[in-house]
Amino acid sequence: MAHFEVIRNLPHAATITRRIEARLVALRVGERFDAEDLFEVVADLREALEPYEDGGDPTEPEGDVAAALAADLGRRLVDAIESLGIGEDRLGQAVRNLFECLGLGREGAEISLRAGEDPRSLLRPI
């Protein structure tokens, strides 16, 4: 599957996490009684990436651990999006961008489809 290869960028991954949260708010997902787990995962993801919001990427061992934790939370996020049936193109694009910033472009291109990204989107890699 075509995908973007991006050098890991945890500060930008933190920014994308905030965009995901904002998109969920815009979709009014927080009004659903069954969305508590989804927002817990978002909070955990924000917490995991918060130390990197204001600066550069950490050294290799720390960065690898942080990216692996964020990727695991990203997978849980997609599971929750899928189970709630709230996937849509912009949300899926943000998920793809998150995984790209974690250095997992191939996985991001695949998992974003489960979060609702349109496979024909002009923003997807060719």
Q: What is the mean pLDDT of residues 110-124?
A: 94
Residue 75 lies in a domain: yes
Residue 123 lies in a domain: no
* Mean residue pLDDT across the chain: 94
Residue 120 lies in a domain: no
In contact, 47 and 13? CB cutoff 8 Å: no
State residue 18's pLDDT score.
Answer: 97
State residue 40's pLDDT score.
Answer: 97
State residue 104's pLDDT score.
Answer: 97
**Domain extent at residue 64:** 10-114
State residue 92's pLDDT score.
Answer: 97
Cα dist from 85 to 7, 65, 82, 94, whole Å: 31, 30, 5, 16
Residue 14 lies in a domain: yes
Reported as a single tens digit per residue, the pLDDT across 34-85 is: 999 999 999 999 999 999 998 777 778 989 999 999 999 999 999 999 999 9
State residue 96's pLDDT score.
Answer: 97
State residue 13's pLDDT score.
Answer: 97
Q: What is the mean pLDDT of residues 85-104?
A: 97
Burial environment of residue 11 by CB neighbours within 10 A (0 to 12, 13 to 18, 19 or more): middle
State residue 56's pLDDT score.
Answer: 73
Residue 34 lies in a domain: yes
Residue 122 lies in a domain: no
Total domains present in the chain: 1
Q: What is the mean pLDDT of residues 100-123?
A: 95
Residue 125 lies in a domain: no
State residue 58's pLDDT score.
Answer: 78
State residue 1's pLDDT score.
Answer: 79
Residue 2 lies in a domain: no
